[in-house]
Structure 1
Amino acid sequence: MADTHLAEQRLESLIAGSPIASVISNPRVKDNPIIYCNAAFVALTGYGEAEIIGRNCRFLAGPATEPWLTEMIRSGVRRHAPVLVEILNYKRDGTPFRNAVLVAPIFDDEGELEYFLGSQVELEPDAPTTNANRRMAASIAVKTLPPRQREVLTEMAAGYLNKQIAHRLGLSEQTVKMHRAALMARLGAATTADAIRIAVEAGL
């Protein structure tokens, strides 16, 4: 029970406080179902939490969803690599929306794939530069980070936890935590999920 509670707390810490619609899925279960979603995802899609949990994220697809973009997401999942695409999705009431979808792996302390993070940003219709502007803003924000913080952010975007980042960069875990807190404050990232999204948007 304690382990389950700790796992739930960790999932909450990843996305619960994020203003960005986000989900966590479990790749160790058949079809990589969603196991946690935040309030922003419920608000964006119109689905209730009970309708979301247990389903694969492709339930947002519809008649005009681009299959080649769906395949790009699947490819990222297969490769355990972060991927960001703009794809046509559908809300519960059938309303189509252009969705900037990020899918990124999260590894456990042993370096094994544990979860996938999915986050969604609705793009304004008839505003093709919206995502380009987001990418530019992310790139500018990341460039303001000191080199070591950029290194830590790059490792975070690849799905590594503090312990693994410390090992990979030859730092103490406490130092990594310090850099992580500082870079998230500089980026205005409320959660790890938000920081990862900024990193991927910036091209890290």
Structure 2
Amino acid sequence: MQTELSARSNRRLVRLVTESPIASVISDPRLPDNPIIACNQAFCDLTGYLAAQVVGRNCWFLSGPATEPWLSEEIRRGVRAHTPVLVEILNYKRSGQPFRNAVLVAPIYDEEDQLLYFLGSQVEIDAGAATPSSMRRIRAAEMVKALSPRQGQVLKRVAQGLLNKQIAADLGLAEKTVKMHRAILMERLALRTTADLIRLAVEAGL
């Protein structure tokens, strides 16, 4: 039964990545060096690497000579504390070309509140754009402000990596009600996957 539940969780998490239009990966902190276990085509298109060259490696393989060490450490702190973190860092594509990358790393938990995986997503930032971080965060905050208080509570817990059952227990709701709120959130925010929902919540500062 436990194996069946694990298999379902793995399939759900792979869909979380593959169905997102945002470059995304899933890593497994239970394995040595927290390796990537799945990535989507958007990530391959962004970085120039094939999936076979990505899976099994730690996400730090995108770092290079000018990658900011203080931002790398900020990501490491988030991973150690199991908290979502969003930074804009210089990374390198397979060709060696540097690019400014808005990186989100967020924990995903199982039904027993144990850390299961980390979700990582990347958005390339146009070097010529004016204050891209501020504009993106302002837009996300405005979208979140338009939500009802209960939807905001659900969204915050989704960003923390909690599953429907955990959110329901935390808020004193039925799991069916949480699923309804998540569906409404996806529709109102015009998002396709939970990965996109998590990213927007973190950008909004939740």
CA distance in 2, matches of 1:7, 1:157: 18
- Pairing 1:43–2:54 present: no
The residue identity in structure 2 corresponding to 1:158 is Q
Segment drifting more, 104-113 vs 14-23: 14-23
Q: RMSD of the alignment, in Å?
A: 1.2
The residue identity in structure 2 corresponding to 1:19 is P
- Pairing 1:191–2:166 present: no
TM-score under structure 2 normalisation?
A: 0.96
**Which of 146, 164, 170 lines up with 1:144 in the alignment?**
146
- Pairing 1:18–2:20 present: yes
Alignment of 1:17-166 (within 5 A): 17-166=19-168
Shift of 1:62: 0.3
Identity %, equivalent residues:
64
TM-score under structure 1 normalisation?
A: 0.97
Aligned positions, number: 204
CA distance in 1, matches of 2:112, 2:29: 16
CA distance in 2, matches of 1:71, 1:40: 26
Shift of 1:6: 2.2
**Structure 1 stretches of at least 4 aligned residues deviating more than 2 Å after TM superposition:** 1-8
CA distance in 1, matches of 2:14, 2:190: 18
Unaligned 5+ residue runs, structure 2? Answer: none
CA distance in 1, matches of 2:204, 2:6: 34
Specify the alignment match of 1:177 in structure 2. 179
Pair 179,3 (structure 1): closer, same or farther in 2 beyond 3 Å: closer
Shift of 1:8: 3.6
CA distance in 1, matches of 2:6, 2:183: 26
Specify the alignment match of 2:169 in structure 1. 167
The residue identity in structure 2 corresponding to 1:161 is L
For the residue of structure 2 that corresponds to 1:11, the secondary structure is helix
CA distance in 2, matches of 1:63, 1:151: 41
Shift of 1:7: 3.6
The residue identity in structure 1 corresponding to 2:92 is Y
Per-residue CA deviation, residues 12-47 of structure 1 (Å, 9 max, x unaligned), is 231211111000000011110000111110110000
Per-residue CA deviation, residues 52-97 of structure 1 (Å, 9 max, x unaligned), is 0000100000000000000000000000000000000000000100
